[in-house]
Amino acid sequence: MVPVLRDAYNAAFTQEQFDRFLHDLNKKYVPLQFRVAETPVFVPKGFSRQLFDACENIIDIILQPGFKEKTDRAIPRNYQVPNENGHPHFIAFDFGICENADGALEPQLIEMQGFPSLFAYEVFLDDVYSSYYDIPENYSSYLGGLNREGYLSALKSIILKNEQPENVILLELFPQRQKTSIDFYCTEDLLGIKMVCVTELIKKGNRLYYLNNGKETLVKRIYNRLIFDELQQQETTVQEKARLLFEDLDVAWVTHPAWFYRISKFTLPLIRHKNIPETRYLNEIKTVPEDLEQYVLKPLFSFAGQGVVIDVTPQDIQNIKDPENWILQKKVNYAPVIKTPDEPAKAEIRIFYFWEEDAPRPRPVNNLARLSKGKMIGVRFNKDKTWTGGSFALFEK
């Protein structure tokens, strides 16, 4: 998106240097379970202004009175967790780099989540990248005037608050097996907190404990990385163990599981903005659009692109048994804007927002990017292709 920087980067690129970069990225913690793209995305000021304008518009809607009432239905009945707090600690906004009718580039919101992302891994990625490549002057992956130190200070403050690291855990389901496990190892290193599987929790009264180097240790805060929908796919013994999470526990959630559902695909039909594609709940559509090829069908409660129907037919809609749990979203025209040695790549940018507990609204802090040459952006849809996968964006200051 910044032709001068793109041309210079591509001209200087060598596979040998990239392989050394990958080696360092994979050796410190654990080998990455996803492909890393050969390039960052360079974002000029004009494009980033559009991104942040859309994000702030969504935040205005979240702050409106009655938002919780409007989104209560988003939380499945069997996933009601007590002690929800006033707002999420984290929000992530996914935007596709798209082309409008006039041929100009613009961001279009794809999804959003009131849930953490790869907050610690992106610090590590930026660190290793910076040791091999020069960051262009006046560009940074950190947002809102933050640098590495300011970003980590904010992250620690939100997750730990005033507690000792041993009393704060990163909660996941078999964390070492997850594709994003690199982020958990980075979090342990940078924040000093342990990753804990839900099956390892010990409940005494209304308090939770875990074994920290063999010592039973009180849990005061949970940095929640567990996607509750995943529990449905587990064996009965795991689901039974996880039931303790739905009890009235003396523990603080960061961020509370309810926000994963409230700020999600469920929220999209509530928003009207030029950088947010038209989205409607499937059960509220009286007449199916004749140009269905211009829409995508998405389940409300899924993640990582699972269940999404790209080429929608009337039969697909007729086959939906629970239309209240689906949305029909206008397709966006991804622009193959990232020049690569063979075919150009499309890209999505995820903007990280942090929301300190006493702050009136959240603020942008960092990002990640994903490059694709397939129909969908996720790394699982780009096998055997180069210059695709996970990366980050460098924003013009």
Average of per-residue pLDDT across 51-58:
96
Between 382 and 267, the higher pLDDT residue: 267
Per-residue pLDDT for 204 more than 70?
yes
Per-residue pLDDT for 321 more than 70?
yes
Q: Percent of the chain, pLDDT > 70? A: 97
* Cα(166)–Cα(169) distance, integer angstroms: 7
pLDDT score at 305: 56
Average of per-residue pLDDT across 381-392:
87
Residue range 131-177, pLDDT digits in tens: 999 999 999 999 999 999 999 999 999 999 999 999 999 999 999 99
* Cα(36)–Cα(370) distance, integer angstroms: 9
Residue range 55-97, pLDDT digits in tens: 999 999 999 999 999 999 999 888 999 999 999 999 999 999 9
Average pLDDT, the chain: 94
Per-residue pLDDT for 52 more than 60?
yes
Q: What number does CATH give the domain 161-254?
A: 3.40.50.11290
pLDDT score at 377: 66
Q: Percent of the chain, pLDDT > 90? A: 86
What residue segments make up the domains of the chain, in order of their start?
Answer: 1-78+87-159+261-276+343-397, 161-254, 278-331
pLDDT score at 101: 85
- Its pTM stands at 0.94
Per-residue pLDDT for 122 more than 60?
yes
pLDDT score at 199: 97
pLDDT score at 333: 87
Average of per-residue pLDDT across 192-218:
98
